[in-house]
A and B are shown apart, each in its own frame.
Chain A
């Protein structure tokens, strides 16, 4: 392992893409610190780092979406300057995002030609030429892929192949893949890398960004590790292991472990051998009153699915759940709510908030019947609602103009606090929080975590699902690590540390790269 920026890899020829000294500042944030990197034809390089390490900014610079403040980009030895994504595209750079849109009713061939000129013959679209072009690439990398089937009928991994073909069909020479397997089950991921290997062997240069570090060490020739906007390490050869990458990524800022004294309370929630359609491996889990239990894992590792089962979104197919010692089998979220459970969903825009409605509407909705004008009539009292909202807003530290303003006018952090405020008026037996601080700024993160601790301090059982390792370490009285749909490890506040969590989260999905 060397701590300097790299030159070409061991077996590489001339650098297809060379970045030198790329630098970018956003106001006070130094997002990219003189990053240099070279990528040869037929080489696959991994890019690792925590969120905020500078990976996205680097990719945006290479894709032409962001203009670096300083530094140079050379393609095939020629200095270039990308002032738009079209420039980068013309240079043969293709960025494949994990869910780049495809037209569901179009087949592979049609999707491959989306947004670029169709080959024409006598003024008509030359379907045969299109098919030939695509079939040629498909034969080389994914011979089993049906070309004439609408992509809506393909599997998620086959759709990834379509995205690859689309990138290659128009002379893409440098592929940048952003979390290409995040939505794929482990066995499909293996198949994907087999295909990607053949893409590389055609002489394409590949830069792979992934949180699944075993994919990087298993597939790539070497892995560049970024932290704080700069390249901190390059792992190659014998040093190209998951453990080495984790240790190079570092722990970020040193953490203030908040010590909490736990009441000696009985388990409020217990899962015994619980399984659902999305959780094939039986889950054992306990949460005590006043305790914060964190479920940590990558996206798709099964932690959010446990919350789904408790909140009545998915029914148990086996095993048992008890709440306060009583058998508990909610058929829908309403029943879970009535049983004294509260829930803050992940992805507030899609599954949490009503963007066109007022703040009050969003806060009082789930427990609306508490704010009746007359106890027997289902007619909410405006004044009771406004009062309850004001109290809840104070409890979560919500910054807002007036109670009637629309949710979409709030910042991300305040929107998240608004979601929290729904449950502020209530003593829940158990609070479920899915990615409670996703996509909010540092200040808001700290405030939200204080709220979570306060909730537990009030005697609520708290179950947090997160992909944020710092958050897991900071909040969890216990941290249960998920990987590939099962519990991989469990730590107490004392035994948990960053490396152990990462290692456990990377442990299960047995990645088996095909021999090249």
Chain B
């Protein structure tokens, strides 16, 4: 194993060490099947939003609106529930809102050349205002159909539904990115957008499509979170944004070129989730939790830098 490989697997090793450490500190509680079930459910929404971030980062762009879009779709869904609208209408409408928000982001970036950082921040702010307005600022929880609750709370063959959603979304995204023509084009756009365009690739269309998918995934994450909690606040998706990008960045440390990958993002999400879960189990003070989380992200990225330089 060369030094570079060692660093490349450093993040994975760090993850394993974390798990071992927590297992020793709290063998009954952390290393239990029940906690594994908890963990996979706790990280599901984050994993799906982080997948959206991974797709957008593959084309070399950022989407800062994912958290707000997650809130908006959950708010739309629950407002429609409260108005007595059937689940088969309200769910597609809520998901569609996410797709539309994403498509607008994509059009702003691809057709009007607005830097994605600015476009998605601005649209995200508009979306958060919409969510606030539609919800009236109140917590929504009335007339939620039982079928909707099953989306996140059911389980199939003992596997929690949220875990299945995560596997489905990340599995498909991973396959698309690594195995399909579309994924290949996204990597080309992220690698050299001008060269991609001059090679005849439909760059603008693919960029719009990518942002739309990201919006749709954010909406899905918001809906799953709403199903898991049974209630919706118009700010509920916001805390997903920064950890999602932290997860993607942790994940990039595992790829040879520093490009985002779905598998790497999954590892990043897992590290984030295990940290929060494990530290709460062993009762780490909240301020120490934050310092450790930030420190571990830095450490992973630094190790990678040193590994590359060496």
Docked complex Cα distance between A343 and B200 (Å): 9
Query: Does any Cβ of A come within 8 Å of B136's Cβ?
Result: no
Query: Does any Cβ of B come within 8 Å of A380's Cβ?
Result: yes
Given contacts A357-B187, A368-B185, A422-B199, 11 further A-B contacts (CB under 8 A): A332-B202, A333-B197, A345-B198, A351-B192, A352-B195, A352-B198, A353-B195, A354-B187, A368-B184, A378-B181, A380-B180
How many positions in chain B have a CB within 8 Å of any CB in the partner chain?
21
Asked, given contacts A352-B195, A354-B192, A356-B191, whether A380 binds B202 with beta carbons under 8 Å apart, the answer is: no
Q: List residues of chain B with CB within 8 A of the CB of A353.
A: 192, 195
Contact of B198 among A343, A355, A356, A357 (CB under 8 A): A343
Docked complex Cα distance between A366 and B185 (Å): 9
Asked whether, in the complex, the Cβ of B181 is within 8 Å of the Cβ of A368, the reply is yes
Query: Does any Cβ of A come within 8 Å of B2's Cβ?
Result: no
Q: List residues of chain A with CB within 8 A of the CB of B196.
A: 354, 365
Mark B180-216 against chain A: 1 for CB-CB distance below 8 A, else 0.
1110110110011011111111100000000000000
Docked complex Cα distance between A355 and B200 (Å): 18
Docked complex Cα distance between A408 and B194 (Å): 17
Asked whether, in the complex, the Cβ of B179 is within 8 Å of the Cβ of A354, the reply is no
Query: Does any Cβ of B come within 8 Å of A161's Cβ?
Result: no
Residues of B whose CB lies within 8 Å of any CB of A are 179-182, 184-185, 187-188, 191-192, 194-202, 257, 259
Asked whether, in the complex, the Cβ of B201 is within 8 Å of the Cβ of A365, the reply is yes
Query: Does any Cβ of B come within 8 Å of A56's Cβ?
Result: no
Contact of B181 among A336, A337, A380 (CB under 8 A): A380
Q: List residues of chain A with CB within 8 A of the CB of B185.
A: 365, 368
Closest 9 CB pairs of A and B: A337-B200, A354-B191, A378-B181, A333-B200, A366-B199, A356-B257, A334-B200, A345-B198, A368-B181
Docked complex Cα distance between A369 and B185 (Å): 11
Q: List residues of chain B with CB within 8 A of the CB of A351.
A: 192, 194-195, 198
How many positions in chain A have a CB within 8 Å of any CB in the partner chain?
27
In the complex, which residues 387-429 of chain A have their Cβ closer than 8 Å to any Cβ of chain B? Answer: 422
Contact of B201 among A334, A355, A361 (CB under 8 A): A334
Asked whether, in the complex, the Cβ of B181 is within 8 Å of the Cβ of A369, the reply is yes
Asked whether, in the complex, the Cβ of A361 is within 8 Å of the Cβ of B198, the reply is no
Docked complex Cα distance between A345 and B195 (Å): 8
Query: Which interface residue of B185, B192, B200 has the most chain A CB atoms within 10 A?
Result: B200
Q: List residues of chain B with CB within 8 A of the CB of A336.
A: 200
Asked whether, in the complex, the Cβ of B181 is within 8 Å of the Cβ of A350, the reply is no
Q: List residues of chain A with CB within 8 A of the CB of B195.
A: 345, 350-354
Asked, given contacts A361-B184, A368-B184, whether A356 binds B259 with beta carbons under 8 Å apart, the answer is: yes
Shortest beta-carbon distance, B161 to chain A, in Å?
28
Q: Can you report 20 A-B residue pairs in the complex whose CB atoms are below 8 A from each other?
A: A332-B200, A333-B197, A333-B199, A334-B200, A343-B200, A350-B194, A352-B195, A353-B195, A354-B187, A354-B195, A354-B196, A361-B187, A365-B185, A365-B188, A365-B201, A366-B201, A368-B184, A369-B181, A379-B179, A380-B179
Shortest beta-carbon distance, A316 to chain B, in Å?
18
Asked whether, in the complex, the Cβ of A334 is within 8 Å of the Cβ of B202, the reply is yes
Contact of A354 among B182, B188, B200, B202 (CB under 8 A): B188
Q: List residues of chain A with CB within 8 A of the CB of B191.
A: 354-357
Shortest beta-carbon distance, B252 to chain A, in Å?
13
Query: Does any Cβ of B come within 8 Å of A313's Cβ?
Result: yes
Q: List residues of chain A with CB within 8 A of the CB of B202.
A: 332, 334
Asked whether, in the complex, the Cβ of A366 is within 8 Å of the Cβ of B181, the reply is no
Q: List residues of chain B with CB within 8 A of the CB of A332.
A: 197, 200, 202
Asked whether, in the complex, the Cβ of A378 is within 8 Å of the Cβ of B182, the reply is yes
Asked, given contacts A332-B202, A422-B199, whether A365 binds B184 with beta carbons under 8 Å apart, the answer is: yes
Docked complex Cα distance between A357 and B184 (Å): 10
Q: List residues of chain A with CB within 8 A of the CB of B200.
A: 332-334, 336-338, 343, 366
